[in-house]
Structure 1
Amino acid sequence: MAITTRSGDDWWRGAVIYQVYPRSFQDTDGDGIGDLRGVTSRLPHIASLGVDAIWLSPFFTSPQTDMGYDVSDYCDVDPMFGTLDDFDEMMAEAHRLGLKVIIDQVISHTSDRHPWFVESRASRSNPKADWYVWADPKPDGTAPNNWLSVFGGPAWEWDGVRRQYYMHNFLTSQPDLNFHNPEVQEAVLATVRFWLDRGVDGFRLDTVNYYFHDGHLRDNPPLVPDPEATSSDAPDVNPYGMQNHLYDKSQSENIGFLRRLRALLDEYGGRATVGEVGDGARSLRTVAAYTSGGDKLHMCYTFDLLGPTFTASHFRRCVENFQTIVTDGWVCWAFSNHDVMRHASRFAPLGADRERVAKLAISLLASLRGSICLYQGEELGLPEAELALEELRDPYGIRFWPAFKGRDGCRTPMVWESGRANAGFSTGIPWLPVREDHRLLAVDAQEGVPGSVLEHYRSTLAFRRAHATLVDGEMAFLASNRDVLAFVRKKGGQRLLFVFNLTSKPQTVHLSSDTIVAEALPMPGFAPAFADNVVKLEGLDVFCGSLR
């Protein structure tokens, strides 16, 4: 069993975080939905990978219209997942195994069934009347402005009781909180304190740049496409991506609230935050603003590496852009999560060697400067599951089908035992189906098998742990052709050279005359050649050498 050795208040810096999507991880009561007891039972698997922490997607009380990202009680566990006692037992076991626990905090909006919203919509004069974003219609009865919902349609919903519109960045059942109201900030921070008192080690902050809106409700202008942009706010089938979102998110007032949040965490010591920033071409500037100075968020992640591009030039541009713009902040890199197509499918289209791409992807991710986040099942090389319209549960996918199939394809159940029904996930009917190509990649089919994706993940993360330079050492790129990614990581007296060939063709890299490789290091799973100042890579390979 691998026990993490990360400790101290800065344990998060360079940490490896494993995302658990509870409803798809392990079901223990046969209802087809994963639960907290299931998470507890599978923590030894997570610990065996050599990660430092788990990020637990929402398990709070919720109507589940958006799979738990519509919270109706921030301080309790939804019965489908268990109880607060189950959460405490899960956290105690995680800590026993040396794993930190990060929970999802969804505070930009609530469910429309949250008691706060029920009271707020009851009248214009009740104590919580201003806790959400309400606005009068235009004289012709239309919405206050042109803001759009990420999930399709206007970002405004008419309420007949108040005879006003309320704002929702996502589903109509997910009204946005009004962070301009100090009482809202106090209430939200109280929910954070509830979980800090319970012993959680950190928070992943959903849509962290959506907390504030423009108080004047100005229209968003159209977006001028940027060919150099490495991420976008929405798939190109969604009109949301046609606006420049200057006024419905990423407002300057957010900085003050993030300072308040950080001050609260600092009271407890050793706690961490990772913010999700979806801000199109401005994402890195937003990350810089949110992570600089040591008084706001500890780290953020963007969608720059969550797209389909798998090229050396793309990765280099993303990292160099971050290094240029975010000078004193920290990033959390990821290739997959619960919102995007699994990278085994994004990076390796049908017919490509997905197993080799999966191995190469984690080798690259583990060598980057920053913290990294893994998504459940990627350690098995799981591809995106193909689902029919009638099998979908994701409202986003249902809304834009068939041009966009939504997020259910990456949310299907974890596969544990290849010979059991539903691959050992549940004895009931799973909430999403388990596909045959997933079952064949189950944990027990790869456990202890030399060369498997699972064992490659374990050895790669062990390699990262064994080299302190990879935790927070400097990173500088070397000149190379557009198909090869070459960079040096250094800290103290150690200098490590990484060379990645991201094509299916052999590549040769000539190093500068002052770059001397003292020895080739055993980067797991690869065996490229080296002679003098030449690195030769066969196929999808990586070279790691120690420099002097």
Structure 2
Amino acid sequence: MTLTTADTDITTVQPEWWKSAVVYQVYPRSFSDSNGDGIGDIRGIINRLDHLEQLGIDVIWLSPVYRSPHADAGYDISDYEAIDPLFGDLDDIDELIADLHRRGMRLVMDLVVNHTSDEHPWFLESRSSTTNPKRDWYWWRDPRPGTAPGAPGAEPTNWESFFSGPTWTFDENTGQYYLHLFAPKQPDLNWENPEVRQAVYAMMRRWLDRGIDGFRMDVINLISKHPELPDAEPHPITGRGDGFPFYAHGPRLHEYLQEMRREVFDGRDALLTVGEMPGVSTKEALLTTDPTRRELNMVFQFEHVGLDHGTSKFDPRPLAPGALADSLTKWQDALGTTGWNSLYLSNHDQPRAVSRFGNDTQYWRESATALATMLHLQRGTPYVYQGEEIGMTNGHFPDLADFRDLESLNFYHQSSQLGLLAENVLDGMRRNGRDNARTPVQWNAEHAAGFTSGTPWIGVNPNHSWLNAEAQYQDASSIYNYYRQLIALRHERDVVALGTFTRVDIGEPAVLAFERAHSADLLMVAVNLSDEERFIRFPTRWAHSTLILSNYPDTAEFVLRPWEAHVLTRRND
């Protein structure tokens, strides 16, 4: 069942090929610019496929390239079946699909169907009158009784948006409010309406007919809302509340996912489906990924990327020793051999892993490779976010004007109302803001890190003078080449893809150690997730084992140096 990028005919791979696959997320705006306009594009991706093939990547997950006004960097879609001219056209996407398939690789597209853009034809019709046939395709409600329409506090519910401010916007033309859990330009679709679901499923089928290999489903756990849309407990300052219990994991979520499976995926077994589910519990994740229930292959959960949040993500707190290891172990144990984990530390919404969970100065290489070892050798499908494979760090944002992200900027402008100090909020944005993941990929030490011949849409990290892909290709000890070893290990040994996971206590909370077992093959992984030496003692059954991978050039008995990772193997006789 092994999938490699060198010699695989993707039409003959087993249905669960994704268990031994490694996925690479491309955020196209920041990956590679082919035409010098400062914004990455599909042609730029095509030009860089050798980098991914040599890395050993099996699947590209492509963040949205659909037509969009770009209020939220393309996650506000105005036409699901057109490519935004900013990124190219349908001929370019067809060429990308063909080139990937020729290399034995696959393409997974982002699916954003909790909401559309307010410029989508569906919403334009819905907004045109209260009697339009598509009126019920979105969530429309009258103002709160006894209030003046459009006045503060007249919103139908008091929910706080993910992007700050109310979740309702008043439409003067029809005298009602529409719901948007994110930006006002991202109205939520009403999945209670079967016509909405059928339109979405038809669109998905057309993309699969075009040759793509699956979908990553944006905030898919928000598509079923409690129809009453009740108020939440109000914040003492803003008066708005957290409506999450009323719009996430709603009463019909599993029904919708099972219907989607029947309507879209049946008869197309060799696909990858992954659902982004903020706030998902282990119980819900297990239900969603249990193959007997026929919903999704895997989900993205968010517990571990919330461990350093204080009152908000812009109020970062230090991680307690062992907190990351304990959280990931919890998910390994909960999904066990029934469900399936998505393994990630970084994506387009998260700061850079080596800056957040590692040490991006003194132990930059060691911590980047230690984190990768810890992640890739767990049970689940690992995801590499662009630039992670060369150890890219958080960006450089001296001033407010250097930021681009809507979420961060909205929070900053609301911060004074919340009584927060502007400089503290800026520090939080520098550490945990989404722009950290969106600085251009650092290809070389030249102008704009080789990303563009023009002026990049967001600032390039100054450390590209030494931290870049070109500098790592021929360096056997580089982060890039270490990633190649990790990915090859998954492809070559079924124990990595299929083995059980058992946490091993070796006496140090800062060390994550675990065993993987499959048939007669055993692996022991031990990773020091700290800046300090840790004295350890492996179980006696590992006394006669073989070290097959380490991120240090030599080893010391009973000691793991800062951010040192060991992978041992032996037969299970």
| TM-score normalised by length of structure 2 | 0.87
Q: Does 1:394 align with 2:397?
A: no
Q: Does 1:166 align with 2:203?
A: no
Q: Does 1:415 align with 2:442?
A: yes
Amino acid at match of 2:261: R
Q: Does 1:341 align with 2:351?
A: yes
SS at match of 1:92: helix
State the shift of 1:306 in Å: 2.7
Query: Percent identity among equivalent residues?
Result: 36
Q: 1:89 aligns with which of 85, 95, 114?
A: 95
For 1:325 and 1:523, the matched residues in 2 are separated by 27
SS at match of 1:121: helix
Q: Does 1:501 align with 2:528?
A: yes
Q: 2:285 aligns with which of 279, 287, 290?
A: 287
Any conservation in 1 of the 2:288–2:296 contact (CA below 8 Å)?
yes
For 1:395 and 1:511, the matched residues in 2 are separated by 48
Deviations 1:342-400 (A, max 9, x none): 11111235644222111111111111110010100011111110223213221111112
Corresponding residue of 2:466: 440
Deviations 1:29-79 (A, max 9, x none): 111111111111111101111121110000000001111000000011001
Q: 1:315 to 1:12 in 2, by over 3 A?
A: same
Q: Does 1:525 align with 2:551?
A: yes
For 1:511 and 1:271, the matched residues in 2 are separated by 40
SS at match of 2:532: coil
Amino acid at match of 2:520: G
Q: Does 1:383 align with 2:393?
A: yes
For 1:423 and 1:499, the matched residues in 2 are separated by 35
Q: 1:110 to 1:238 in 2, by over 3 A?
A: farther
Deviations 1:524-548 (A, max 9, x none): 42356476xxx43223212222234
State the shift of 1:257 in Å: 1.1
Corresponding residue of 2:267: 267
Q: Does 1:9 align with 2:18?
A: no
Amino acid at match of 1:21: Y
Q: CA RMSD in A?
A: 2.2
For 1:304 and 1:238, the matched residues in 2 are separated by 26
For 1:199 and 1:93, the matched residues in 2 are separated by 12
For 1:201 and 1:95, the matched residues in 2 are separated by 10
Matches within 5 A, 1:59-138: 59-138=65-144
Q: 1:197 to 1:9 in 2, by over 3 A?
A: same
For 1:471 and 1:239, the matched residues in 2 are separated by 48
Corresponding residue of 2:381: 371
Q: 1:394 to 1:539 in 2, by over 3 A?
A: closer
SS at match of 2:305: coil
Matches within 5 A, 1:448-487: 448-481=474-507, 482-487=509-514
Deviations 1:440-475 (A, max 9, x none): 211111111121111111122222322210012101
Any conservation in 2 of the 1:53–1:100 contact (CA below 8 Å)?
yes
Amino acid at match of 1:444: E
Matches within 5 A, 1:274-353: 274-279=274-279, 282-292=280-290, 293-307=292-306, 308=308, 309=319, 311-324=321-334, 328-348=338-358, 351-353=361-363
Amino acid at match of 1:260: E
State the shift of 1:517 in Å: 3.6
Any conservation in 2 of the 1:459–1:524 contact (CA below 8 Å)?
no
Any conservation in 1 of the 2:359–2:367 contact (CA below 8 Å)?
no
State the shift of 1:180 in Å: 0.3
SS at match of 2:515: strand
For 1:334 and 1:291, the matched residues in 2 are separated by 17
Corresponding residue of 1:543: 566
Any conservation in 2 of the 1:527–1:543 contact (CA below 8 Å)?
no
Deviates more, 1:180-189 or 1:452-461: 452-461
Corresponding residue of 1:191: 203
Amino acid at match of 2:215: F
Amino acid at match of 2:484: R
State the shift of 1:91 in Å: 0.9
Deviates more, 1:2-11 or 1:489-498: 2-11
For 1:477 and 1:4, the matched residues in 2 are separated by 35
State the shift of 1:250 in Å: 1.2
State the shift of 1:326 in Å: 6.4
Matches within 5 A, 1:239-258: 243=242, 245-258=244-257
Q: 1:211 to 1:451 in 2, by over 3 A?
A: same
For 1:35 and 1:300, the matched residues in 2 are separated by 27
SS at match of 1:522: strand
For 1:303 and 1:211, the matched residues in 2 are separated by 18
State the shift of 1:317 in Å: 3.4
Any conservation in 1 of the 2:358–2:529 contact (CA below 8 Å)?
no
Corresponding residue of 1:20: 26
Corresponding residue of 1:232: none
Q: 2:48 aligns with which of 22, 38, 42?
A: 42
Deviates more, 1:13-22 or 1:343-352: 343-352
Q: 1:326 to 1:211 in 2, by over 3 A?
A: farther
Any conservation in 2 of the 1:71–1:110 contact (CA below 8 Å)?
yes
For 2:451 and 2:80, the matched residues in 1 are separated by 27
SS at match of 2:522: strand
Any conservation in 2 of the 1:26–1:39 contact (CA below 8 Å)?
yes
SS at match of 2:463: helix
Q: 1:8 to 1:486 in 2, by over 3 A?
A: same
Amino acid at match of 1:126: N
State the shift of 1:195 in Å: 0.6
Q: 1:313 to 1:64 in 2, by over 3 A?
A: closer
Any conservation in 1 of the 2:346–2:385 contact (CA below 8 Å)?
yes
For 2:373 and 2:80, the matched residues in 1 are separated by 37
- In structure 2, stretches of 5+ residues that fail to align are 149-153, 309-318, 413-421
Any conservation in 2 of the 1:2–1:49 contact (CA below 8 Å)?
no
| TM-score normalised by length of structure 1 | 0.91
Deviations 1:68-98 (A, max 9, x none): 0000000110011111010000111111111
State the shift of 1:267 in Å: 2.2
Q: 1:111 to 1:270 in 2, by over 3 A?
A: same
Any conservation in 2 of the 1:275–1:301 contact (CA below 8 Å)?
yes
State the shift of 1:408 in Å: 1.4
SS at match of 1:246: helix
Amino acid at match of 1:500: V
SS at match of 1:217: coil
For 1:124 and 1:472, the matched residues in 2 are separated by 53
Q: 1:133 to 1:342 in 2, by over 3 A?
A: same
Q: Does 1:492 align with 2:519?
A: yes
Amino acid at match of 2:545: E
For 2:238 and 2:155, the matched residues in 1 are separated by 19
State the shift of 1:314 in Å: 2.8
Matches within 5 A, 1:216-255: 216-221=228-233, 243=242, 245-255=244-254
State the shift of 1:328 in Å: 2.0
Amino acid at match of 1:365: L
- In structure 1, stretches of 5+ residues that fail to align are 224-236
For 2:238 and 2:374, the matched residues in 1 are separated by 31
Deviations 1:323-356 (A, max 9, x none): 2266622111101000011111112356442221
State the shift of 1:417 in Å: 2.0
Any conservation in 1 of the 2:117–2:185 contact (CA below 8 Å)?
yes
